Amino acid sequence: MKKFNLKNVILILLLVVFVASVFSGCESKDLMKKYKKQIAQLDKKYSNLDDLNLNSPFKQDIVNRYLLRDMSTNYHVALDFASTDGKTDIPFLAPQDGIVIKVWTTQNNNTEGTNLWSYNTLIALNSKYVLSMCFETFSSLESMRAKQEANIFVKEGDFVKQGDLVGNLIVGAQNAHVDFLVIEWSTNKHVKPEPLFTPEALAQIESRVVPWENVG
């Protein structure tokens, strides 16, 4: 597999900044207002809104097909999930019940000037946290965009249960991955997702850390 180099790191950081900019200011307030009743229903499950218990987003009978480049850091406050051979399309599941509040596509410029298709999903977990799962194909082909679109199985307004299929990552090129991050509504800041997983889910995720340059 091609090494996950500095150019790709820059691309991911730019995408994370883009997601944060989309989910900011007036838009986050508008989404909260639009889904106020549904989010209030989610809040009834919590005595403390910080007590998330995220499950692994992996399909359990194919766990060995998932790859995690690294755990989150202060510079990349997210998890990047990919497939072990860099070629196989793989499913990603909702880690917890929530309301899908936004689904959209972007075409991002990398440092080589190539437009790469991504599909972004935002899922409100409660009135404090929202989950972003961004399916990054690492392809500029229209055929890959159409295929990824056809493999996003949620739409705005859907209620998802833990374990529901959100989408299949379509691997258009090496380094394709799902960018998994949690955002705090009130501050629009990313929070490290690891403490929000159940111990069992976190152990499983940690077991899939494989340096991308050593795979496939």
- Residue ranges and CATH numbers for the domains of the chain are 6-214 (2.70.70.10)
Cα distance between residue 99 and residue 181, in whole Å = 16
User: How large is the average pLDDT for residues 89-104?
Assistant: 96
Q: Which range is least confidently modeled, 53-57, 59-63, 104-108?
A: 104-108
CA dist 196 and 205 (Å) reads 12
At residue 41 the predicted structure's pLDDT band, cuts being 50, 70 and 90, is very high
Angle at 144 between CA 180 and CA 153, to 5 degrees: 55
Distance CA 63, CA 94 (A): 15
What the block records as the tokens of 185 is 């509504």
Hey, how many other C-beta atoms are within 10 angstroms of the C-beta on 79? 24
- Give 31's pLDDT tier (boundaries 50, 70, 90): confident
| pLDDT attached to residue 186 | 87
pLDDT of residue 112: 54
Q: Which residue has the higher pLDDT, 111 or 119?
A: 119
Using pLDDT thresholds of 50, 70 and 90, give the confidence band for residue 13.
very low
Distance CA 178, CA 197 (A): 17
pTM for the full predicted model: 0.85
β-strand partners of 68: 81, 209
CA dihedral 178, 211, 138, 78 (to 10 degrees): 30
| Torsional class of 199: left (φ above 0), alpha (ψ -120 to 50), beta (otherwise) | alpha
- Mean pLDDT in residue range 35-46: 93
